[in-house]
Amino acid sequence: MSRTPEQIRDEWLHDLMPPGALERRPDGNLAKFLQAFAGPFAALESDIDGLAQEISPGTAVGLLADYEAVLGPDPCGRDQGDLTLAQRQALAFQRWVA
């Protein structure tokens, strides 16, 4: 589960900054500075979470066409016609694990 930019900022404020030496309030200047860096980290975590579903052709959406290209045409001709996304995923998964 990816974190929000605010969760990342708060973690940085409390875990990485020394207590007492710097202001660690969520509305302080340091928090505002860290917020600018926390946004891209949150986007990266979200992208990584999305790619976790792409590891298997049975759950892939964005990389399904790549799996199909690697597997090539189905020797049994089951990939002919208009298949739904779920049917394409199931067929690619069957062929991948076979």
Domain co-membership, 12 together with 35: yes
* pTM assigned to the model: 0.61
Question: Do 46 and 61 fall within a single domain?
Answer: no
List the Cα angle 4/24/21 in 5-degree steps.
145
Q: Are residues 47 and 65 in the same domain?
A: no
Dihedral of the alpha carbons of 30, 32, 33, 36, in degrees to the nearest 10: 150
Residue 35: is it exposed, middle or buried by C-beta count within 10 angstroms (0-12/13-18/19+)? middle
Residues 61 and 81 in one domain: yes
Residue 63 pLDDT > 80, yes or no? yes
Whether residues 43 and 27 share a domain: the answer is yes
The percentage of residues in the chain with a pLDDT greater than 70, rounded to a whole number, is: 99
User: Domain range spanning residue 75?
Assistant: 56-97
- Assess whether 60 and 87 both reside in one domain: yes
Query: pLDDT per residue over 19-49, tens digit each?
Result: 776 777 888 888 899 999 999 999 999 999 9
